[in-house]
Amino acid sequence: MKAFEYARPQNLSQALEQGGTFKAGGVDLLSRMKRGTLSVKKLVDISALQDLRFAPVLKKGELWIGAGLPLARLLEAGPLLPQGIRQAAAGTATPQIRNQASLVGNLLQEKRCLYLLDPEISCLGNGGKGCPARDGHHAELAILEPSPCLAIQASNLAPILCALDARLFEFQGKDNLRSLRAFYQDWRKQGERPKLPLTHSIRIPAASLRGGSAHHEVRVKQSFDWAIATAAAHLVLDGDRVARASLWLGSVSDIPYQAKKVEQALQGKAPTDFKKALALLDSDFELHSPQQDWKRKMALLCAEKALRKSYDNAKEQR
Amino acid sequence: MSRTEKDRNSDSIRGGFPGLSRQIDLSRRNPNDAPPWSLDTKFRVVGTDVPRLDGMAKATGVAVYPSDFRPKGLLYAAILRSPIPKGKVAELDTSKADAAPGVMAVAVATGKGRQIRYVGQEIVAVAAETKALAEDALARIQLVLDADGDFVADPIVDARKNLPAVDPLPQSLQEAGARGEKEVELAMAFETQVQMHHPLEPHGITAMFHRDGSLEVWASTQGTFMMQRSLAQAFRLPSRRVHVLTPVMGGGFGSKLQAGIEARLCAELAMEAGRPVHCFVDRRGQALAMGNRPSSLHWIRAKANSGGEIVDWEAQSYGFPGFAGSGRVAYPTFYRGVRRPRHRDIRGNTGAARAFRAPGHPQGFFAAESMVDELACRLGIDPLEFRLKNVDPVHHMQLKMGAEAFGWKQRFNKKPGTPDKASSMLRGAGMACTRWGGMGGARARVLCRIHQDGTVEVRNGAQDIGTGTRTVLAVVTAETLGVDVKRIQAHIGDSQDPAGPSSGGSTTTPTLAPAIRHAAWLAGQELLGRVAEQKRIERKELSLEGGKILKGGKPFLSFSQACALIGPEPIEAMGQRYRNWRGFSGGVAGCQFAEVEVDPETGLVQVRRILAVQDCGTVIDKKTAESQVIGAIIQGLSYALFEERLVDAKLGRVLGTDLEHYRIAGSLEMPEIIPILNKGCNGHNNTGAAGIGEPPTIPTSAAIANAVRNAIGARVHRLPLTPDRVLEVLDRVHGGKQ
Ligand SMILES: Cc1cc2nc3c(=O)[nH]c(=O)nc-3n(C[C@H](O)[C@H](O)[C@H](O)COP(=O)(O)OP(=O)(O)OC[C@H]3O[C@@H](n4cnc5c(N)ncnc54)[C@H](O)[C@@H]3O)c2cc1C
Ligand code: SF4
């Protein structure tokens, strides 16, 4: 690891004065620094800031969650936490990681590809040319809306928070409430992660707290690993029928993927029609090779299970 | 020697297992050896649960591992590795690195004009005041490589295409099941992956030259004396001038059986800098260059008759060890009819294979035990019954014992491929056998001292790679002298102590235990001599039993009272490791039973339980022996389901070289593991102990694969049994309707 400066502010005003790279749990950041794929001049450790570590609270009808809250602490929240968020946090890796990993750190984790781990490989994913994964190992890479670089965003919390249309609340700037969906879109457009000022919290609008939600995932290995595919659904019901649907998939593209066609097709439908709607998702897959066929099946399975679980959850919520 | 002792030497003891024993001829026994333990010996300490002596120190972080050792003035090394898989070093200029801040020494591993054979090959090592400075200095090395694009990183791809013909894969459950035929002949292919060596403590040493020119080394090694010899040779020193210390170490599965290039470079740097140097490879270096279990391919044609006997067997195997090393495989030839394969190694441009916990065995046993199992499935005979018909008496006994304890009858799925009603999971059970040598016998000496204060000191210079060497020293000494384990101070891992073996081939305990027993026995005899002298009585009136000194068979002195008579000079006895005589058998045997649950929607395999019956001759410490079985099963499960080194064939590079991305089974993957030590006495040395470190990892992957076969109704021919491969088979035989 290269030498770097280090600061650990004890309060917000100190933190806001510091310029540098924020380190929350450091799970993502430090492993990249150790691997030699990231070098940082100055690390500003924000893990001591209690202001960022608050548990979910209802404020003005919205649900606010501290940006720095470790996922393990998120799991301690009561019934005001949507089921989908709980399931996504519970599935993330293993207790050791959940104790360390912060909510916003999880959303901001780098994209994943085995080739990206090797500092000696130059490719589109790190500013170079070409994509060796296409001729090599890409079984776990993008299968929906693939960019030239097939690396994936594998955050567990991202799909559910997108489904719930969460906002990032930042300390600085004029327009300091940023849509998470737009943030990922910008990430895709700019080709690199948009610079974020210190983020205070995640805010879930009141409208998203109605109805039911769920997260489903499939992973090759249950401990210390990322998921192959995840899906998060949020359904608002009108009687037994779907009034509003939101379905987002994770680990399948460079940013969380919104299954818009499925969402539209579900409008006004009963759960018996989920399979039919999901066929529309199936037709959207763009596999680079048959290596990815299992991943495709798992993404479909996750979507179906997330929809069913959120439907059940929505019924319970009434 | 008295007449009676001579008679005893030409005597015999009972060896084997309760119910399956025989008399063992002792005529080849060395007359100076301690009297041997047998199947009839009643033990006090041996075979009980003695907690690992250094367990607490290790668990609480008190133990100082070789990579933790920080002598004054320590420098840190970093290694520059080749970024290309094949070629030549065209230019190499290290002068800028030499002049870089904090750099104290530079050592070249692959100089100008030398060949590069894989990504990760060591080129230059630098020692600097900090690790970061050493790494910075690497960037200043001017290295020009002549890359040769004609490399093969993944030779298994072509070898697959050149295998002899195999039977078409079954397209339905019916095709995969028994077809009521009298005899069955099958031709099938099997494949295993590369498993990486990832001991928790990576390879390396800390080296320092003392003023007198002698070399002191703290090494994470599987052989303190091997390390001593290698470094002595490299630096033209007499062995006694190289002092190797390995008081504890962070694991090794065969890759640390050699003094790697990192050790030589480290000592070179220490010599040049005139200061101690710490050179431990990083995880990436570990993954690229520190060895692996090579991949293998198998083609087997076999035939079984209506009576369930294997009547014909022909096999061809290939191993893919990388640029060097061996990819040979072993088959379970204790089955009647199973024969060794013809074998060929095919080299490629990746890091070399090294010995890996039972080299060649998990590969070969996965293939051959899968074939044996498939013969049974296609004949429609219960795989247990089928094996019982073809196996030797020890395995026969163990299979029956294991099947009973495991509940084979209830757990074996009679309708493979049909989901469990309650859970909608596919359940199945499978088994496989194992055999290994592990009789030990390399030269070893053990020093035993009895002190006036009643403590007993035992010393041997060998290391403990996790099998509990220190504890074995204490248990055998305590048993022999009849005293409490707490009295014993056991010292290991220091090349200035008496010579011991490298820990390879499951031989550490069977090599050391007899020498420990001999040393303790000699020391006990001498204690009696001293007592006789002090008390002015006849030596032959005295005996040592159950920790007491008897006179004419009656209690006379306690052990402490006797020790008090010794005087300030301790009793010192040097035990020998005499040659093995012919024991009950030339190896250890075992079998394992696995129960799995397969999710028909995902293909994910969850192992529910594994039961192992394992023989290791006399069980010295039950706790550490069971730990070996449990650990071996965990590693075998990890091999069966997860571990797989990925190589990009075009780039010639290994992908996922850290522990976050190389999948190894973790806590949530653990089944219930039930180790049953098949207690016996192999009787080939004075303790009857045999090895246990490797044999229980051999059959695990095959047992799991056979259980998956029983669950889903058809076979997955390739390790690891990843969910995509399992689902592919399910979709094929169920027509995608699972
Ligand atoms: C073995 C393993 C398995 C894993 N499995 C999973 C999994 O199954 N699912 C999953 O989702 N993740 C998984 N992860 C990833 C892990 O969850 C993330 O790395 C972690 O959540 C990152 O959080 P952190 O607090 O450690 O972030 P850090 O590493 O500290 O930071 C990550 C990024 O976020 C920025 N940042 C953090 N907080 C703020 C803030 N308040 N304001 C502005 N910027 C900020 C940092 O500057 C940095 O760029 C796994 C990781 C490992 C090592
Ligand atoms: S997907 Fe291709 S371009 Fe992207 S990081 Fe991986 S190898 Fe590089």
Interface confidence (ipTM) of the complex: 0.96
Ligand nearest, relative to CA of residue A150: 2
Per-residue pLDDT at B179: 82
Closest residue in B to A139 (Cα) is B724
- Least confident residue range of A64-68, A193-197, A286-290: A193-197
Rounded to whole angstroms, the Cα distance separating A244 from A236 reads 5
Q: Does position B333 have pLDDT exceeding 60, yes or no?
A: yes
Give residue for tokens 């290596």.
Answer: A291
Residues with Cβ within 8 Å of residue A180, at least 6 apart in sequence:
A107, A158, A161, A162, A165, A166, A167, A168, A202
Query: Which pLDDT band holds residue B721 (cuts at 50, 70, 90)?
Result: very high
Among A6, A16, A23, A27, the mutation site with the greatest number of ligand 1 atoms within 8 A of its Cβ is A27
Rounded to whole angstroms, the Cα distance separating B553 from A176 reads 92
Partnered with residue A257 across adjacent β-strands are: A249
Of B602, B656, B728, the CB nearest to A218: B602
Closest residue in A to B722 (Cα) is A220
Per-residue pLDDT at B6: 46
Per-residue pLDDT at A318: 79
Q: What is the pLDDT of residues B100-146, one digit of tens each?
A: 999 999 999 999 999 999 999 999 999 999 999 999 999 999 999 99
Do residues B439 and B506 touch, judged by C-beta distance below 8 A? no
* Alpha carbon of A119 to ligand 1 centroid (Å): 20
Q: Compute CA distances B646 → B290, B560, B655, B656, B662, whole Å.
A: 16, 61, 5, 7, 9
Question: What would the two tokens of residue B318 be?
Answer: 């290939």
Query: Which pLDDT band holds residue A93 (cuts at 50, 70, 90)?
Result: confident
Q: What is the mean pLDDT of residues A15-21?
A: 89
Per-residue pLDDT at B362: 98
Partnered with residue B319 across adjacent β-strands are: B296, B345
Per-residue pLDDT at B4: 46
Q: What is the pLDDT of residues B191-246, one digit of tens each?
A: 999 999 999 999 999 999 999 999 999 999 999 999 999 999 999 999 999 999 99
A150 lines ligand 2 (CB under 6 A): yes
* Shortest alpha-carbon distance between residue A35 and chain B (Å): 8
pLDDT > 90: percent of chain A: 91
Is the alpha carbon torsion for A184, A189, A191, A195 positive or negative?
Answer: negative
Among A4, A85, A106, the mutation site with the greatest number of ligand 1 atoms within 8 A of its Cβ is A106
Q: What is the pLDDT of residues B401-414, one digit of tens each?
A: 999 999 999 999 99
A26 lines ligand 1 (CB under 6 A): yes
Per-residue pLDDT at B724: 98
Which amino acid is present at A255? Answer: I
Ligand nearest, relative to CA of residue A112: 2
* Shortest alpha-carbon distance between residue B666 and chain A (Å): 5
Class of the domain covering B74-153: alpha beta
| The domains spanning B42-65+441-576 and B74-153 adopt the same CATH topology | no
Length of chain B: 738
Per-residue pLDDT at B10: 57
Q: What is the mean pLDDT of residues B137-163?
A: 97
Rounded to whole angstroms, the Cα distance separating A220 from B295 reads 21
- Topology (CATH level 3) of domain B42-65+441-576: Aldehyde Oxidoreductase; domain 4 (3.30.365)
Q: What is the mean pLDDT of chain B?
A: 96
Question: What would the two tokens of residue B497 be?
Answer: 């102590």
* Shortest alpha-carbon distance between residue A223 and chain B (Å): 5
Gyration radius from chain A CA atoms: 19
Of A139, A221, A301, the CB nearest to B642: A221
Per-residue pLDDT at B713: 97
Is the alpha carbon torsion for A123, A124, A128, A131 positive or negative?
Answer: positive
Q: What are phi and psi of B724, to 5 degrees?
A: -65, -40
Question: In which element (H, E) is residue B71 found?
Answer: none
Q: What is the mean pLDDT of residues B576-601?
A: 96
Enumerate the domain spans of chain B.
42-65+441-576, 74-153, 168-195+292-438+585-734
Could you tell me which of B70, B75, B67, B71 has the C-alpha nearest to residue B272? Answer: B75
Q: Does position A125 have pLDDT exceeding 60, yes or no?
A: yes
CATH number, domain A1-49, options 3.90.1170.50, 3.40.50.720, 3.90.1150.10, 3.30.43.10? 3.30.43.10
- Chain B CB contacts of A223 below 8 Å: 665-669
Among A38, A124, A254, A286, the mutation site with the greatest number of ligand 2 atoms within 8 A of its Cβ is A124
The more confidently predicted of residues A213 and A35 is A213
Q: Does position A284 have pLDDT exceeding 80, yes or no?
A: yes
Rounded to whole angstroms, the Cα distance separating B134 from B277 reads 12
A72 lines ligand 1 (CB under 6 A): no
Q: Does position A167 have pLDDT exceeding 90, yes or no?
A: yes
* Shortest alpha-carbon distance between residue A10 and chain B (Å): 28
Query: Which pLDDT band holds residue B181 (cuts at 50, 70, 90)?
Result: confident
Q: What is the pLDDT of residues A189-210, one digit of tens each?
A: 999 999 889 999 999 999 999 9
Query: Which residue lies with its CA nearest to atom 2 of ligand 2?
Result: A131
Q: What is the mean pLDDT of residues B674-686?
A: 96
Closest residue in A to B601 (Cα) is A301
Q: What is the mean pLDDT of residues B500-511?
A: 96
Give residue for tokens 């010639």.
Answer: B652
- Chain A CB contacts of B663 below 8 Å: 220-221, 225
* Alpha carbon of A113 to ligand 2 centroid (Å): 6
Q: What are phi and psi of B94, to 5 degrees?
A: -105, 5
Question: In which element (H, E) is residue A268 found?
Answer: none
Of A132, A139, A220, the CB nearest to B648: A132
Question: What would the two tokens of residue B139 be?
Answer: 């960037």
DSSP B316-343: EEEEE-TTSS-------TTSTT--PPEE
Q: What is the mean pLDDT of residues B591-620?
A: 98
Rounded to whole angstroms, the Cα distance separating B723 from A220 reads 7
- What is the value of pTM for the model shown? 0.97
Ligand nearest, relative to CA of residue A32: 1
- Least confident residue range of B6-15, B45-54, B241-250: B6-15
* Shortest alpha-carbon distance between residue A275 and chain B (Å): 15
Note whether B642 contacts A: Cβ–Cβ < 8 A. yes
Q: What is the mean pLDDT of residues A274-283?
A: 94
Which amino acid is present at B312? Answer: D
Q: What is the mean pLDDT of residues A286-296?
A: 98
Length of chain A: 318
Closest residue in A to B285 (Cα) is A35
CA-based end-to-end distance of chain A:
53
Of B132, B660, B728, the CB nearest to A3: B132
DSSP A149-172: S--B---SHHHHHHHTT-EEEESS
Q: What is the mean pLDDT of residues B479-498?
A: 97
Q: Does position B3 have pLDDT exceeding 50, yes or no?
A: no
Q: Which of residues 247-306 of B touch A (CB under 8 A)?
A: 284
Q: What is the mean pLDDT of residues A107-133?
A: 96
- Chain B CB contacts of A139 below 8 Å: 724
SS (H, E, C) B278-298: EEECCHHHHHHHCCEECEEEE
Question: What would the two tokens of residue B710 be?
Answer: 């029983």
Partnered with residue B571 across adjacent β-strands are: B450
Question: What would the two tokens of residue B549 be?
Answer: 């000194």
Question: What would the two tokens of residue A21 be?
Answer: 């790279």
| Contact yes or no for A221 and B601 at CB 8 A | no
pLDDT > 70: percent of chain A: 99
Per-residue pLDDT at A176: 86
Q: Does position B182 have pLDDT exceeding 60, yes or no?
A: yes
Which amino acid is present at A89? Answer: A
Q: Does position B606 have pLDDT exceeding 90, yes or no?
A: yes
Tell me which CATH code domain B168-195+292-438+585-734 carries: 3.30.365.10
A124 lines ligand 2 (CB under 6 A): yes
Angle of the B224-234 helix axis to the B261-273 helix axis, nearest 10: 60
Note whether B658 contacts A: Cβ–Cβ < 8 A. yes
Per-residue pLDDT at A3: 84
Per-residue pLDDT at A317: 86
Q: What are phi and psi of B652, to 5 degrees?
A: 70, 30
Per-residue pLDDT at B7: 47
Question: What would the two tokens of residue B347 be?
Answer: 């080299």
Query: Which pLDDT band holds residue B738 (cuts at 50, 70, 90)?
Result: very low
Q: What is the mean pLDDT of residues B511-529?
A: 98
